[in-house]
Structure 1
């Protein structure tokens, strides 16, 4: 797929024609919001990312699982969640603050491993903590645009030789996503 990607137009040039993934595809397939506040790179938290993680979730990562300033070995977070779920499963009786902490941990995995992965396959960014501080604001962002832009950036880098692998939300590459956007050769200029 990387060989067929054209970064100038953000399209795949396939033998059947040009194809692309649009905001509407992401919205329809995954239910992510198109409209909403833009997500942008924000300043790091006052605390370090591991300290912010602990403040928001009560999860204290081992130093050996923290990489650089903002990267975490995601399997350590997964192991922690399994242990917490076994010892203290979420129930009606669980305090709201504990449910929020657990939700932030799951969201961090969803963002850092699934929606915005990196090419290492082992690390995840803790920068998404800044967007999940206030869970009530989570639905106000245009996640659709960010996921699509992240995918475009991943394919651009890989197609230009900057990266050997693509870091993108890979379910977007399902064949049925393309089917609505295949153009005939006479329509290639409008794709």
Structure 2
């Protein structure tokens, strides 16, 4: 990984290798993660207040946030006997995947609540361009990894690993 990061060129967002330039494309992301590259951008209002967090958790999961392991609490809070409880569970699982696979941070234990408003409408979740957002996040992570004082790298490293495995014999 370190060798690959050392060959990252932030100006062009490409890897300079002895065989030529390589780039992780949106098609690669769509193939590896099977993510939508829909028309709607993943964007929205970022409100980090605790009141907003409570409101979003109540809307998406049906229970308020806690200081402890909130994701597990949601997943096991109620039986999956109603459509609403199944939707809460699925939203929780999607939120977990967003925070641990698509947009992980260095802590790997926290999920940013800015993605919660995007989970409100089940029919719209798939229409967002998760693939392009994930690719952008990987590019930013690779650029940040080049800073001289960086000790750890974050971002969708699973995507980078799988891409390297498939593209580089």
Per the normalisation by structure 1, the TM-score is: 0.74
Counterpart for residue 178 of structure 1: 167
How far apart are residue 82 of structure 1 and its match? 5.3
The answer to whether the 8 A contact 1:20-1:178 is kept is no
Counterpart for residue 22 of structure 2: 19
Q: Quick one: which of 12, 26, 34 aligns to 1:31?
A: 34
Distance 2:149 2:118 in 1: 28
Q: Quick one: which of 78, 96, 99 aligns to 1:112?
A: 99
The answer to whether the 8 A contact 1:158-1:166 is kept is yes
- Cα deviation code 1:99-118 (max 9, x no counterpart): 11111111110111211001
Tell me, which stretches of 5 or more residues in structure 2 are unaligned? none
Highest CA radius of gyration, 1 or 2? 1
Tell me, which stretches of 5 or more residues in structure 1 are unaligned? 66-75, 183-191
Q: Quick one: which of 2, 5, 27 aligns to 2:8?
A: 5
1:151 alignment partner, SS class? helix
1:127 alignment partner, SS class? helix
Aligned residues: 163
2:37 alignment partner, SS class? coil
Counterpart for residue 187 of structure 1: none
1:40 alignment partner, SS class? coil
